[in-house]
Structure 1
Amino acid sequence: MANTGYKSFTLLERYYKDDGTSTGDIKPNVTTDPDYIAPILDTISCPPDTRYYNTEQTKTVTKNNCSAGEAGTEITLTAYANQFVSNISVIDANNQAIAWLEENVQIYANNLGTCVINIPAITSSLSSDGMTIDLSWSVPHNNIGITGYQLYRKVDSGGTWSPHMSINTADITTYSDNALSPNTTYYYKVSTRNTAGDLSVPSNETYQTTGDNSTGGSGGGCFVEGTLITLPDGSKKAIEELHLDQLLLSAEIETLIDTNNANELYKWSSNSLSEKRITSPITKLTQKDAYKTIIVNDGLLEATPTHLQLIQRNGSWRFIPLGDIQAGDNLYGINNEIIPVTAVTINLEKRRIFPLTLNPFHTYFANGILTHNYKEGENPNP
């Protein structure tokens, strides 16, 4: 025990008051005895040991008993100055304080901390080749309490969600999916995983549609956002506002056996064009990104290079990929007018496109120009 500087007495000895000699009687010095003598401060014969006290020490940890999808707040426990004492050194007193913090801070944080929602948010983008989908996600409270993520994927809107990739670290928040099929829409969502292995509520959903391998993601029948499509009553609606089963104004071309196969359509030609107006519903409508489009007549038409377009060339009507159109070709307008092609330019900036399929007829009017949809994946070649 450290010396405090106080002298205490174990035994009491009786002595004669008149001459101060001992009577020989001895008894314990206990506090219950009326003759008890308390310790007295005697720093001369009992110099006290030096006492060292800790300086203020703190430790901050995160509440770690929240449910999956929640983050615990940070809590700080403090060992105040002079709370711990040592007769060795201040360092020893501080080490006592630090050991106490280590032993108690997590319990303290779990009792006093709070849990906040930490559901991730996910985004996606399509690579320039149209065949890789890049995913990125984040959580609002960094990666507190997170040990990893579970990525889910489904194919097309009617598909079934299934686990796609398990990520076993909180620091990885990106993923590139390149095991993909062309002309297919992939949907993704992600959950966080906590220290107990529990998964959170999934994030929002994100999706991308891959392209045709041969066209860098262009596909077929793909007009850009903002293209006006004519409805049966003559009104127009932007292509991005259309929906499945919506009726479009269509045209039945005499001598043409209408098909949704580009290679068959490419075989057809006629020196005259006779058509009658009909209607046809949209049976498939998707959206994707394109990184190359063809612009005709300064924006009269803008679509992907493989879009199959009706033109007149050298007096003959035929279907060609829009990428093959030339100044001097003619287009056919909704009012039966012949519209000369005067300018063709290539756009390499990212554009949002909307492939659509009609059935049983496959023609429609885009920006007042008669055009055609065809089966995605077919690539007509002259």
Structure 2
Amino acid sequence: MPVRMVLAVQDSRYVEPLLDYVQGSSFGNMLHVTAFTRMDAFLQYMTEHKPGLVVGDRDMLQAWLEAAGEDARHIAWLLLSEDGGALPSARGGEPGRGAAIAKYQPLPQLLEAVLAYCKGPLNGAVSEPKRHSGTTPVLGIASPLGGCGKSTIAMNMAKQLGVLGLRVFYLNLETANTGALFSSGTPESEQRFSRLLYNVKAWQEENIAKRQAGAQRPEMPDVELGPFIVKHPGMKCDTFAPSQQVQELMEITEADTGLLLKLLAASDEYDLIIADTGGCIEERTLGVLEGADLLMWVLLDDLVSMYKSGVWLNYLESRHPELFRNAMGKSRYVMNRFTGQLANPLPWQASGLDGALPYIPSWKQVHQEDLLLCSPIFQREILKLCRALLEKPGLVSFHADGDRAYG
């Protein structure tokens, strides 16, 4: 049975092309759409029916949520957002079972996001996200190579999981933070991140002094993360504001990184933390190799890249043998810019490929940063990779039909 969906958008120029596309594509077998452009007709229909999902603009959803009250809590909805503002709320300020997706995007991508939010074809209902008990899992993304697309992969994973309704924190530990291209961070936000680093280092110095004095040391610092976190509307996740203070970032140690990961995981505010690393043997990367629950190594299928990957992994093993052995037990290997056939042997450390992501020709010369987050082909493959890497070890649970993910 298809998902019973109500589309409530006041602009008929938006509704009609979408309906035409659904009816003429394979989505017609998966979605049964009832559309409204008039507020009164929509509100009257909702008093008599309980669809599986309501997708609408802000005004239509707000009017329905206020009119329905507690009844709205039993129906899932998606806001077609243009501005990334706050979600509309039901009577009493409760947000209900809602999320937001971009209103203007390619129709296949839009409809895939709608289906991904649904529980499945059995009854058209949407399942509630489940919270993790205990600490939040950490996915570390690393590479022995520069320029392999590691950060593009990390940011697209954060975005796609956020679209599915998971609460994701994106921790960028690069010296030159790629996330700055997608951020509207201000000097004040940079100072906030600098303050956080100061607090982390100060606590560790106090801890060392207490240990030398034989005093009892707390396991976790009393550092409040909330003031330092910003919401990233483009990536649908939380993050720390990017800092341009290169020297300050270079001084982040392995212990600093481990402590940041512990603070984020212990907050229990997120379903997944994605840690984007810098160079292979930088201290920040070593901290992620130690603290991550799962490591994803990004490789490229060309002779020079494979050779360099093997050399750097050998160096990591010789300098940090115990850390290397622990890391290999939780490592997965993903080939980026894959063209369909492996031309070069993998580094000996990799037992085999655990996933592949396609080459996107339009990214050969990117002139607009948002293009890196808007490729339907890449987003589809990112979702497949997330399911393959995160479900089996139990970091993130996906429903059996593979459409709706929850943490």
Range of TM-score over shorter length:
under 0.3
The structure that is strand-richer by fraction is: 1
Structure with the larger RCO, 1 or 2 (CA within 8 Å, 6+ apart): 2
State the TM-score, normalized to the length of structure 2.
0.23
The structure that is helix-richer by fraction is: 2
Greater gyration radius: 1
